[in-house]
Amino acid sequence: MAIKVLFFDTSALLKLFVNEKGTQKIKWLCRSDTRFLHSLHFVINEQVVREFKERIDCFVTKGRLSREKGEHIKSQFFKFYEGKMFRVIGQSIISNTKKETSFEEVLEQLSMKEGKDDWDGYHYQSIVNSLAYLGGESEPILVTADGRFGNKVGRTGYRVINPLKQSKSEIESIIA
């Protein structure tokens, strides 16, 4: 049986907590019955954790969320999700059979610019290094609402879930 490891970037993770386009698909994907039925495991990296907090704070500053709601979301995330539902990984390689991919190699592979695409580069580096131990049918799947980043990662051969562009049935076919 293949284990499906879904790497959530910040754009997708936010949809679990903030109601916006794609939220219902992310909530369905994260439901316990969906996770169990499809053998799904969720991961994020350290940058997603930091960026999630920063984005929630930004939503509060811009008036999109009340201060109380922003604090509640952060409290829920850090208490019930970080390290529990979403395993936190780094960029370093875990496998002893594969060569670690450097940040510079990531930028070159995805045609990204240092200083401009660093967050996306770190996300991809986590996928190729920290999830390199997966083998056989088990492959990481990127979950992102960032079309540009999703397209770049998709061109490298990884499967991508984009709750803004794909229907529930299309997402289900990816995780089936």
Give the domain CATH number at 32. Answer: 3.40.50.1010
- Per-residue model confidence (pLDDT) at position 133: 58
Are the C-beta atoms of 3 and 138 separated by less than 8 Å?
yes
Rounded Cα distance between 46 and 166, Å, is 27
The average confidence (pLDDT) of the chain is 88
| pTM of the predicted protein model | 0.84
- pLDDT reading at 136 higher than 60: no
pLDDT of residue 131: 65
Q: Where in the sequence is the domain holding 134, given as residue range(s)?
A: 4-175
- If one counts the domains in the chain, the total is 1
User: What distance lies between CA 168 and its chain's CA centroid?
Assistant: 17
Query: What DSSP assignment string belongs to 9-32?
Result: -HHHHHHHHS--TTHHHHHHHHSH
For 77-103, what is each residue's pLDDT tens digit? 999 999 899 988 775 655 556 677 888
Angle between helices 10-17 and 46-61 (to 10 degrees): 50
